[in-house]
Amino acid sequence: MDLKWLLVRRITLVVLACLIAGAGIAVYQTASVARQQNVTLAEMMGRQLEVQLGRIGRALDGHRRFSDWEVVTGYELYPGQCVQLLGTDGAPRHSRCAGIDRASAAGVPDWFVAAYSAVIDGEMPASHPVSYRSTPHGTVLVSFSPQATAGRAWATIAPLAVFSAAFLAVLLLVTSVVIDRALLPAKGILAGLNRLAQGDLACRLPPCRLSELNRISEVFNALSASLASAMSERTELARRLVDTQEQERRHIARELHDEIAQKLAALNALAACVRSSAQSGGSGVLDEARELEQMSSGLMVSLRRTLTYLRPQEIDDLGLIPSLHALVAQQNERARGSTSYRIETRGDMERIGADTSAHVYRIVQEALTNASKHANARNVTVNLSQVPEQGREQIRLSVIDDGSGSPHEERVATSLHSGMIGMRERVVALNGTFQAGPLAEGGFGLRVEFPALQPALQPALQGGA
């Protein structure tokens, strides 16, 4: 349902409820007035009759004159009002009624009379006992005709009903216009949501005067900007992943062709020479065998290097921590004292799965490679720890250098072509957070945090990041 008409309908229901309550109060007050009129008349006539009994008791009047109804009925009655004198046996002795205004009664709907009589006793009876010296002599009973009291109630609420109808019509018109103007920004928000659902991430909403709608606009704009950034980053990430995969395939193909395939061909040729020499009894068999041994050893080294590029065997054989120590040792060996690499670990890392360990190894490997290429640092520290946080174990990884190399923007731009996107993708696969940037005390830092216990990981790069 449209919001405007929902609000109009609810406001209408509230107004109708208020008008019905007001009509009910008016009807109740009218009935209360009629009942009070009956009570007052019954008391006055009862006292008048008791005065007659007092005169008879003092021999100032005769018994036959009781009751002197002509004196009693001198009181003016309201239209539709009846007064009776009931004897001690309950039988009527005297009565008098005032006529009903037929013109007024004719304008009262029958349904209103029926409803009024069902809810309220239309006669409004009131009685007053007549006694003298504790001796009862009858009862004065005063009542109204139900048509008369219903007519009085209708005369009270009929103008209210006409006014209410006119008021409600004007209220609906004014409310519709006011709500329509108030909800005008909501239409813009709805249009923006539709554009966002259709993929228009450049959509932005203007500020609104209402604080609630303005907050919605702010959140919508922030969400759109975040989605646009995430989509752009995702597109760049997908492109980089495809490029990286192609680079890996080219590298593997080059390794297989340039080294392994050529060395296999040379081995085949050398083996044929050894066979020929052995058949002819030549003296060069021993030298050829040594050359064959050297070539097979070199082939094993090339194969091991290629396999290590695909996935370090140490992770499966030794575990994550020894593999990282070996990686840091290799970096120190390459640096030859120009940069000091060290690693600090804390916590039990044995529970980390093999896939998670491979991701951590590649992140550290890429971070150390970037530091060696761009940081110009004296010290590079790798810190890996497992800490409890909010009832679950978290893995925290940081790679920090004290370098004074390229500026932050240049390093980040260079890192985008040096595996930063690959590292971020691995962190996303670990359901973690990734931060990289300059440090307040100088240098550059990379920080990663992710849950220690991982669900089944999405396929990620198993080669170089």
pLDDT band at 210 (very low <50, low <70, confident <90, very high): confident
**What does the pLDDT read at residue 133?**
81
State which fold the 318-451 domain adopts. Heat Shock Protein 90 (3.30.565)
Residue 311 in this model has a pLDDT that exceeds 80: no
pLDDT band at 406 (very low <50, low <70, confident <90, very high): low
How many percent of the chain have pLDDT more than 90? 8
Contact 154, 112 (CB under 8 A): yes
- Count the Cβ atoms, other than its own, within 10 Å of residue 399: 25
Residue 225 in this model has a pLDDT that exceeds 80: yes
Question: Mean pLDDT, to the nearest integer, of 50-67?
Answer: 71
Question: Mean pLDDT, to the nearest integer, of 56-66?
Answer: 67
Residue 381 in this model has a pLDDT that exceeds 90: yes
pLDDT tens digits, one per residue of 138-170: 898 998 888 888 888 888 888 877 887 888 888
**What does the pLDDT read at residue 286?**
67
Using CA of residue 64, residue 66, residue 67, residue 71, what is the dihedral sign?
positive
Higher pLDDT, 252 or 281: 252
**What does the pLDDT read at residue 424?**
84
Question: Mean pLDDT, to the nearest integer, of 263-289?
Answer: 69
Residue 415 in this model has a pLDDT that exceeds 60: no
Higher pLDDT, 461 or 96: 96
pLDDT tens digits, one per residue of 356-375: 888 888 899 889 988 888 87
pLDDT tens digits, one per residue of 91-150: 888 888 887 777 666 677 888 888 887 888 778 889 999 888 888 888 989 988 888 888
Domain ranges of the chain: 3-181, 202-310, 318-451
Question: Mean pLDDT, to the nearest integer, of 441-453?
Answer: 88
Residue 400 in this model has a pLDDT that exceeds 90: yes
Residue 411 in this model has a pLDDT that exceeds 70: no
Mean pLDDT, the chain, rounded, equals 79
Residue 66 in this model has a pLDDT that exceeds 70: no
